[in-house]
Structure 1
Amino acid sequence: MADIYISLGSNIEREKYVNKGLWALENAFGEIAVSSLYACEAIGFEGPEFYNLVVSANTSKTLSEVAELLRDIEYDNGRSPDAYKYSPRTLDLDLLLFDDVIANEPAQIPRDEILKNAFVLWPLAELAPKLIHPVKQKNYASLWQQFDKTSQKIAQLPLTWQSNLGRNN
């Protein structure tokens, strides 16, 4: 089983698509751990504020299977296959870590956004503070502590999502 970490973001009907994304990930992987929710201004383009968080799960799927699954969940939630990288989106799912794998295909692992964006590093440091970045060889708590927190506006928010596991539907 591989330990995986996924960044989830939305800036279109944010609460709706954050919840839908979490339920889809829970459906795909079973039990998931979820960071706090963060609000962050759009980076790289002018647009509505994003909601972001990080999810961890365990999977027996391969790296390729996980990357394809995340793309399918995005498409199932209204993301266009030809959407620009820096544009508003209903749901954005990025695989951040797959165990301690370092790869460029089928996805960049570890994802470079971990070290560049507060909306990725802060929730990852919250969820896995002692986990070691496979390239930097530092834990995420210390990477967050060293991050320039004046570089991006970000705020921690309450998360209203509730797991569907164990419920009778």
Structure 2
Amino acid sequence: MTEVLLSLGSNQEPYRHLQAAATALRDTFGPVRFSPVYETAAVGFDGPAFLNAGAWLDTDWDVYRLDRWLHELEDALGRKRDVPRFSSRTIDIDIVFFGDAMLKGPGNLQIPRPELKHAFVLKPLTDLAPDFVVPGQGLSLRALWQQHPEAGAFYPAGHYALV
């Protein structure tokens, strides 16, 4: 089994789409843990705020099968792929870590995800797995978060939780 950490985000009916993704993940992979949900401004474009969360699951699937399945889930939840990359979306689910793998491609698949530099990806994953050591960096998520400029000023949206 491989430990997988995912980043989830939505700014179109965000709670509904995050909850639908959480249900599909649990239905497929069994026990899945979710971080608190964070509300953040859109990055890279002007648009409604996002709700973001992290997920931790274990799988015996390979990374490519998981990536295909996640894209199919995004599509089933209304994700549009004929729009600019940085735009509003019903759901975005990225594999941030797949065990200790480091890889690029095909397509936009890159592990670890470069978006880890953003608080909306790093903080939820730190909540889930603070001692997880980032492949290629040798630092734990906790250590990365403690160095982040938004550490200490980034709080969960208390009225949302993935159940």
In the aligned structure 2, how far is the partner of 1:2 from the partner of 1:160?
A: 25
Are 1:124 and 2:125 an aligned pair? yes
Q: Who is 1:70 aligned against?
A: 70
In the aligned structure 2, how far is the partner of 1:140 from the partner of 1:74?
A: 26
Which ranges of 4 or more aligned residues in structure 1 deviate by more than 4 Å?
Answer: none
Structure 1 runs not aligned, ≥5 long: 163-169
Cα-Cα RMSD:
1.3
Q: Who is 1:12 aligned against?
A: 12
Q: What is the identity, as a one-letter code, of the residue corresponding to 2:111?
A: I
Q: Who is 1:97 aligned against?
A: 97
In the aligned structure 2, how far is the partner of 1:89 from the partner of 1:50?
A: 9
Q: What is the identity, as a one-letter code, of the residue corresponding to 2:127?
A: E
Q: What is the identity, as a one-letter code, of the residue corresponding to 2:137?
A: K
TM-score (norm. length: structure 2): 0.93
Alignment counterpart, residue 112 of structure 1, candidates 111, 114, 121: 114
Q: What is the identity, as a one-letter code, of the residue corresponding to 1:65?
A: R
SS in 1 for 2:23: helix
8 Å Cα contact 1:47/1:87 also seen in 2: yes
Number of residue pairs aligned between Structure 1 and Structure 2: 159
SS in 2 for 1:4: strand
In the aligned structure 2, how far is the partner of 1:148 from the partner of 1:121?
A: 12
Q: Deviations over 1:126-161 (max 9, x none)?
A: 1100010001110000100000118xx854123333
Q: How does 1:1-169 map to 2 (within 5 A)?
A: 1-106=1-106, 107-114=109-116, 116-149=117-150, 154-158=154-158, 159-162=160-163
Deviation at 1:80, TM superposition (A): 1.5
In the aligned structure 1, how far is the partner of 2:103 from the partner of 2:38?
A: 28
